[in-house]
Amino acid sequence: MSAVATRTLLAVRDLHVYLGQSHVLQGVTFDVPEGGVVALLGRNGVGKTTTLRAILGLVDRRGSIRLEGSELTGMSTHRIVRRSVGYVPEDRDVFTGLTVAENLRLAERDDAPRYDLVYELFPELRERGTQRAGTLSGGQQQMVAIARALLNDNRLLLVDEPTKGLAPALVAEVARVLERLAELTTVLLVEQNLGVVRRIAQEVIVLDQGRVVHAGDAKEFLDEPDLVKRMLSVGRA
């Protein structure tokens, strides 16, 4: 981890998750410091998404997950989220049968949801308020998914592959929004696009076969091509 002395916001210790017969997370341990962006990296299927879902309580898990010292593992998902944890899921998971405005209204948690910020970053969503989310393009659905998290004042934001399947122009747009998000809250980001990681992340955690195999400064990690290739390339070194 970075040598910079910052307060730990999220502490994950010895996290285990079984999905059916598969032991997906095998004692994952890491810290997320307050402020900035920590990128969770790894090949496909190593447990990145499962880690985020375990933090949120969307899968059964064992171990310890502490947010500002409070244990989360005994809590249900909605209680964890109400401790100011936001979530932008992989594949967006917008409610396709609801309108854009209804998707946003459903996400309102705070007394004063930040529609001004949402519409400043995504003015298109204001125009498309009455449109069913299922008829939006992938990029527009991603805007809705991020906007739902932006509406509330989160202490921690879990963002899962926000650029997946997007055109290059949209990837840059999403990266710009993530930079803005990072100014407002701490972000734990799962991302395959290393260009985006380089642009916005301060620290990286690398998973392999359900375990943390590397944690440290993002720039230092990305500046070592051999290390990156060994840990993230499809072919095993």
Partner 1 sequence: MSTFVLLTITGFGLGAMYFLIASGLSLIYGLMGVLNFAHGAFITVGSYGTWWTSEHVFDGVHSNLWRWLLSALLGLVCGGVFAALVELILIRPLYTRHIEQVLVTVGLQLAFVALVRGIWGPDPKTFVVPRWLHETTDVGGALIPNDRWVEIATAAVVLVLLQLFLRRTRYGLIIRAGVENRAMVQALGIDVRKAFTLVFAIGGVAAAVAGVLSGVYFNVVGPEQGTSLLIFAFIVVVIGGLGSIGGSAVAALVVALTQQYTNYYASSGIGDMVVVLLLGVVLLVRPRGFAGAVVGARA
CA torsion angle 231 66 184 98 (round to 10): 90
- Minimum distance between the CB of residue 94 and partner 1, rounded to whole angstroms? 8
Interface pick for partner 1 out of 81, 100, 182, 205 (rule CB under 8 A): 81
Note whether 93 binds partner 1 by CB under 8 A: yes
> Which residue shows structure tokens 């399947």?
165
Note whether 128 binds partner 1 by CB under 8 A: no
Task: Give the pair of three-digit tokens for residue 33.
Answer: 């410091």
Task: Give the pair of three-digit tokens for residue 120.
Answer: 């400043």
Contact between residue 225 and residue 207 where contact means Cβ atoms under 8 Å apart:
no
- Minimum distance between the CB of residue 117 and partner 1, rounded to whole angstroms? 17
Closer to partner 1 by Cβ: residue 128 or 148: 148
Task: Give the pair of three-digit tokens for residue 127.
Answer: 């125009």
Closer to partner 1 by Cβ: residue 113 or 195: 113
Contact between residue 65 and residue 71 where contact means Cβ atoms under 8 Å apart:
yes
Interface pick for partner 1 out of 87, 140, 200, 203 (rule CB under 8 A): 87
Calpha distance 139→126 (Å, rounded): 15
Note whether 131 binds partner 1 by CB under 8 A: no
Residue numbers at the binding site for partner 1 (CB under 8 A): 56, 58, 76-78, 81-82, 87, 89, 93, 95-98, 102, 105-107, 109, 148, 152
